[in-house]
């Protein structure tokens, strides 16, 4: 019990952060679903797919929070009474599965945005598809390894549930656990690079305008934010790679286990809200231009297609 106490304190503080992040994620998801379903255009097939993905991700993420909460409550109860080890084990297994589904859906949305922006240039879509496939395989294999490890635990000898999700599999599989974060880092970094390439193209086009285009300016700012936030998101996976190679203390691993799924859910939601905001601002700028009768040049066809497709 003495060893469980400090761990539970860390879990309690971390759960407070998790609940705040979940509240923020819920707000962003509600805005995303509303905008995808009701704003501006008829619902296209791409919007339907994105809407289903966002909705599924929210349901999955809520289940993940519930599993983490069960583990946390079990760890709290272990301070003063006997805990149902089987229930905690089931919650841990659910947390492993749901977290990896969450990562996959998050990667799908990020790849989808980069896919739309790539607009068929070169072999970009083949690369992005390969990255998404690699993410799926690595997440599936990592999930299987985690499930096998946790399933062998003796439920009669209680150990803190949340740290066990991260620590037990790594203790058994060692550096082989680096595969999943490495693949996810490559996937998200590749998508971010393609977004950055589109941003460079937009800047190059914008410089050729005699009259600055507000539409392209808005689009460029959104791309820059997506690129910068994508680098930060990729850095998250780099930290996890470093954690496998040079393990952090157990308390830090507890925080990572709880917080990382929340952060990976936030980024795709932010991307969708940005897309919708960009579409709204574009519509407003077009109306303003018509009202002022400005002769604003039409963007090149490749850029127009990218602007149109990212708003779907």
- For 48-108, strand residue ranges (E) read none
Distance CA 213, CA 217 (A): 6
Does 26 have pLDDT greater than 70?
yes
181 contacts: CB under 8 Å, gap ≥ 6: 237, 238, 240, 241, 243, 244
As a whole number, the mean pLDDT across the chain is 76
Summarised one tens digit per residue, pLDDT across range 101-156 is 999 998 998 888 888 777 656 688 889 999 999 999 999 998 888 888 878 776 66
Which of 112-116, 165-169, 271-275, 300-304 is most confident? 112-116
Listed residue (212, 190, 191, 188) closest to 310, CA to CA: 191
Mean pLDDT of 183-204: 89
Which of these, 59, 54, 97, 64, lies nearest to 267 by C-alpha position?
A: 54
pLDDT band of residue 20 (cuts 50, 70, 90) is very high
Closest CA to 14 of 285, 236, 260, 300: 260
Residue 12 has pLDDT above 50, yes or no: yes
Helix (H) or strand (E) holding 306: helix 301-310
pLDDT at 209: 62
pLDDT classification of 188: cutoffs 50, 70, 90:
very high
pLDDT score of 133: 95
Instruction: Please state whether 237 falls in left (phi above 0), alpha (psi between -120 and 50) or beta.
Output: alpha
| 123 vs 2: CA distance, rounded Å | 57
- Of 253, 251, 229, nearest to 240 by C-alpha is 253
Question: What's the pLDDT tens digit per position in 85-103?
Answer: 677 788 888 888 998 999 9
CB count within 10 Å of CB 275 equals 21
Higher confidence at residue 309 or residue 139? Answer: 139
Instruction: Record the tokens describing residue 272, joined without a space.
Output: 């969708």
Could you tell me which residues come within 8 angstroms of residue 2 by beta carbon, excluding any fewer than 6 positions away? none
Question: Is residue 44 a contact partner of residue 99, using CB atoms and an 8 Å limit?
Answer: no
Q: Tokens for 207, please give them.
A: 């410089």
DSSP conformational letter for 249: P
Residue bearing the bigger pLDDT, 185 or 32? 185
Q: With contact defined as beta carbons under 8 Å apart, do 108 and 146 qualify?
A: no
pTM of the model: 0.80
- At 292 the pLDDT is 39
pLDDT of residue 183: 93
Measuring CA to CA, which residue among 246, 104, 119 is closest to residue 170? Answer: 246
| Structural domain spans, the chain | 4-310
Secondary-structure percent of the chain, ordered helix, strand, coil, rounded to 5: 85, 0, 15
- If one compares 239 and 36, the residue with the highest pLDDT of the two is 239
Helix 85-118 × helix 301-310 angle, to 10°: 150
Mean pLDDT of 21-50: 79
- In tens, the pLDDT along 196-243 reads 888 888 888 777 665 556 677 777 788 888 888 888 889 888 988 888
**pLDDT more than 70, % of the chain:** 72
Q: Comparing 250 with 302, which gets the higher pLDDT?
A: 250
Mean pLDDT of 278-285: 56
The pLDDT confidence band at residue 186, using thresholds 50, 70 and 90, is very high
For the domain made up of 4-310, give the CATH fold. Rhopdopsin 7-helix transmembrane proteins (1.20.1070)
Q: Evaluate whether 271 touches 113 at the Cβ level (below 8 Å).
A: yes
Residue of 179 and 169 predicted with greater confidence: 179
The HSE-up count of residue 286 (CA atoms within 13 Å, CB side) is 8
């Amino acid at each position: 019990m003495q060893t469980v106490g400090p761990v539970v304190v860390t879990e309690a503080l971390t759960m407070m952060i998790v609940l705040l992040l979940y509240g923020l994620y819920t707000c962003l998801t509600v805005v995303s679903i509303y905008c995808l379903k009701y704003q501006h255009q008829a619902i296209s097939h791409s919007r339907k797919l994105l809407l289903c993905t966002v909705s599924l991700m929210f349901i999955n993420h809520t289940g993940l929070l519930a599993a983490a909460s069960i583990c946390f409550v079990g760890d709290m109860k272990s301070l003063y009474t006997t805990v149902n080890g089987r229930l905690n084990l089931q919650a841990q297994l659910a947390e492993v599965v749901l977290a990896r589904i969450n990562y996959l859906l998050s990667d799908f949305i990020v790849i989808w945005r980069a896919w739309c922006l790539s607009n068929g240039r070169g072999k970009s879509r083949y690369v992005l598809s390969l990255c998404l496939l690699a993410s799926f395989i690595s997440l599936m294999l990592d999930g299987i390894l985690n499930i096998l490890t946790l399933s062998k635990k003796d439920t009669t000898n209680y150990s803190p549930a949340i740290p066990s999700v991260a620590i037990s599999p790594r203790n058994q599989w060692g550096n082989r656990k680096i595969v999943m974060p490495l693949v996810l880092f490559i996937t998200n970094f590749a998508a971010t690079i393609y977004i950055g390439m589109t941003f460079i193209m937009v800047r190059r086009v914008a410089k050729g305008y005699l009259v600055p285009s507000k539409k392209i300016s808005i689009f460029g700012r959104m791309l820059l934010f997506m690129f910068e936030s994508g680098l930060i998101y990729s850095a998250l996976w780099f930290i996890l790679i470093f954690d496998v190679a040079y393990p952090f203390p157990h308390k830090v691993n507890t925080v990572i286990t709880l917080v990382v799924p929340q952060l990976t859910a936030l980024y795709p939601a932010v991307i969708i809200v940005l897309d919708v905001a960009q579409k709204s601002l574009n519509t407003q700028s077009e109306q303003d231009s018509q009202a002022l009768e400005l002769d604003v040049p039409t963007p090149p066809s490749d850029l127009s297609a990218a602007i149109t497709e990212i708003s779907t």
